Amino acid sequence: MSLKLIIGTKHISSWSLRPWLALKHIGVAFEEILIPLNKPQTRQKILQYSSAGRVPVLIDDSLVIWDSLAICEYLAEKFPSAQLWPENVAMRARARAVSAEMHSGFAHVRQQLSMNLKKKVPLPELNADTQSELNRLQAIWRECLALSGGPFLFGSFTIADAMFAPVVTRFLTYSVPYAPELELYIQAMAHLPAMRQWTSAALIEEN
Ligand SMILES: N[C@@H](CCC(=O)N[C@@H](CS)C(=O)NCC(=O)O)C(=O)O
């Protein structure tokens, strides 16, 4: 088996972080190929692996999978013992719903509070849409944690946590105020060994 994950610059590539965390959670060996983003050659380099022209891309022998959530779904099927989705069918449906909501939404948070693991930025004046998305994110987390008891959204680490990992970093980068009952979750995510490993590498990137 030869798994390769093509990712972008670690301090800014929020989409790449998700399947990388899933692979680390599984504990399977994989080759990591990092393509620096925002360079003249970026697009050409990504196109060598995927005609979609975006990272992340997972390559499993001759199979090419683009899109972070599709990669996570594939990994959940390929490595069932890693329990990347909750075991309970109702919880699994909820985990898929919140993952899909994250994947397809929160455009204002993405735009106004872009991920940058190398920065600590004072909170800018938030526009109403960004504030309402931040409120929604916290409501999702509170509901999931109340049902599961934590420390992760569905008890143990799942794809849902991988999907939200980049927005957790934004809360920290921009010192976004959050409800006190989310402190344990945000700290659990920040101190996840794989998250620390990604962040350490991100901090020494050149640009
Ligand atoms: N829906 C895609 C979005 C991926 C995406 O937008 N990736 C950005 C980097 S984080 C990218 O590849 N940009 C291409 C570029 O900068 O040329 C996914 O979930 O994988």
Q: Which atom of ligand 1 is nearest to the CA of 37?
A: 16
How remote is the CA of residue 24 from the centroid of ligand 1, in Å? 20
Q: Is 99 in the pocket of ligand 1 (CB under 6 A)?
A: no
Q: With contact defined as beta carbons under 8 Å apart, do 86 and 155 qualify?
A: yes
Query: Does residue 171 have a pLDDT over 80?
Result: yes
Mean pLDDT of the chain: 97
Q: Which atom of ligand 1 is nearest to the CA of 103?
A: 19
- The whole-model pTM stands at 0.97
* Cβ neighbours of 1 (radius 10 Å): 8
Q: What number is the average pLDDT over the span 134-145?
A: 98
Residue 174's pLDDT is 98
Q: Residues of CATH 1.20.1050.10 domain(s) within the chain?
A: 89-194
Q: Which atom of ligand 1 is nearest to the CA of 55?
A: 12
Residue 1's pLDDT is 61
Query: Does residue 124 have a pLDDT over 90?
Result: yes
Q: Would you place residue 12 in the very low, low, confident or very high pLDDT band (cuts 50, 70, 90)?
A: very high
Q: Residues of CATH 3.40.30.10 domain(s) within the chain?
A: 3-82
Q: Give the pairing type, strands 3-8 and 57-60.
A: antiparallel
Q: What number is the average pLDDT over the span 114-130?
A: 97
Task: Find the helix packing angle between 159-173 and 68-78, rounded to 10°.
Answer: 140
Query: Does residue 207 have a pLDDT over 80?
Result: no
User: How far, CA to CA in Å, does 140 sit from each of 10, 36, 57, 154, 161?
Assistant: 26, 33, 28, 12, 12
Residue 9's pLDDT is 98
Protein residue with least CA distance to atom 1, ligand 1? 67
User: How far, CA to CA in Å, does 106 sit from each of 114, 131, 164, 180, 204?
Assistant: 11, 10, 11, 22, 28
Q: Would you place residue 32 in the very low, low, confident or very high pLDDT band (cuts 50, 70, 90)?
A: very high
Beta strands in the chain, from DSSP E residues, in sequence order: 3-8, 31-35, 57-60, 63-66
Please state which CATH number belongs to domain 89-194. 1.20.1050.10
Please state which CATH number belongs to domain 3-82. 3.40.30.10
Mutation probe of ligand 1 site: the residue of 7, 13, 14, 15 with most atoms within 8 A of C-beta: 15
Query: Does residue 152 have a pLDDT over 90?
Result: yes
Q: What number is the average pLDDT over the span 18-35?
A: 98
Q: Is 15 in the pocket of ligand 1 (CB under 6 A)?
A: yes
Q: Would you place residue 141 in the very low, low, confident or very high pLDDT band (cuts 50, 70, 90)?
A: very high
Query: Does residue 206 have a pLDDT over 90?
Result: no
Q: Is 50 in the pocket of ligand 1 (CB under 6 A)?
A: no
- Both structure tokens of 140: 């999702």
Secondary structure letter of residue 85 according to DSSP: S
Protein residue with least CA distance to atom 17, ligand 1? 43
How many helices (H) does the chain have, and how many strands (E)?
9, 4
